[in-house]
Amino acid sequence: MQPEELALSPVQAAAEAGAWFDAMFRDNYPRLVAMLTRLTGDRGQAEEIAAEAFAKLARRSSLFATREEPAAWVYRVATNAGLDALRARARRKRSEAAAGVEQLRTTESGGALEDLIRTERAVRVRAILAALKPREAQLLLLRSSGQSYREIAETLGVQAGSVGTLLARAEREFERRYRARYGDDL
């Protein structure tokens, strides 16, 4: 291939970048929303966070020229934002509980016992995730969403060989905090 064949006009380059961005969005948006929905428990908020992460990526055209994987960047930004939202909600719930609002909500839900237990377990897990270090929470969430060690390493910017060590450490820390807060009740 001749060198002039490799050269793209600015219009062609912009078109290729747009097509690449569309493909990347189609491949990753559903997975990202699913993961954020599990994290936040709010589908609408998850979609907003994911869309905002992609919008940030679109504005940062310099990322396309770097060696950093843009999809990993989006996952990192989105999971960070999701954890921030989770912590903000935890703070708000603490203040609401202090005001007696939480009791009203609990009595309103009134579903089947199994639903209540599942909901309560999800609340506990999210509370522990919000209390962990961001990278540990991201690691657990990404692994639980089915990402491979290589994908996790790209997202978190670590060596693939150290993911196992970080994962074991994060799991131990999660269990320690969970047992310290809620006892042995799993």
Partner 1 sequence: MKQCWSEGELRAYLDCELPPRDMERVAAHLKTCGMCGYLCADLARRAQRLEAWMQALPEPGLVTCAPRAPHRAPNTRWVGVAAGIAAAAVIGVALWPNAKPKVVVTPPPVARIAPAPPALPAAPPAVKPAIIRPAPRVVPPKPKPQIQYYFALDDEPIETGLIVRVGLNGGQIPADVIVGPDGRARAFRLVSETSGELK
Q: Which of 17, 21, 24, 41 binds partner 1 (CB under 8 A)?
A: 41
Residue 175 lies near partner 1 (rule: CB under 8 A)? yes
Residue 171 lies near partner 1 (rule: CB under 8 A)? yes
Closest CA to 41 of 85, 80, 74: 85
* Cα 105 to Cα 127: distance, rounded to the nearest angstrom: 17
DSSP reduced 3-state for 51: helix
In the region spanning residues 43 to 72, those forming contacts with partner 1, defined by CB under 8 A, are: 43-44, 46-48, 50-51
Kindly state the smallest distance separating residue 121's Cβ from partner 1, in Å. 4
**Measuring CA to CA, how many Å separate 157 from each of 1, 13, 53, 121?**
34, 28, 17, 31
Residue 182 lies near partner 1 (rule: CB under 8 A)? no
Closest CA to 125 of 40, 33, 60, 66: 40
Residue 39 lies near partner 1 (rule: CB under 8 A)? yes
Q: Which of 13, 30, 84, 88 binds partner 1 (CB under 8 A)?
A: 30
What is 66-91 written as a DSSP string? SSS-HHHHHHHHHHHHHHHHHHHHHH
In the region spanning residues 81 to 140, those forming contacts with partner 1, defined by CB under 8 A, are: 118, 121-122, 124-126, 140
Nearer to partner 1, 72 or 86 (CB): 86
Question: Which secondary-structure segment (H or E) carries 126?
Answer: helix 113-131
Tell me which residues touch partner 1 (CB under 8 A). Answer: 25-26, 29-31, 33-34, 37-39, 41, 43-44, 46-48, 50-51, 118, 121-122, 124-126, 140-141, 143-144, 148-149, 161-168, 171-172, 174-175, 178, 186
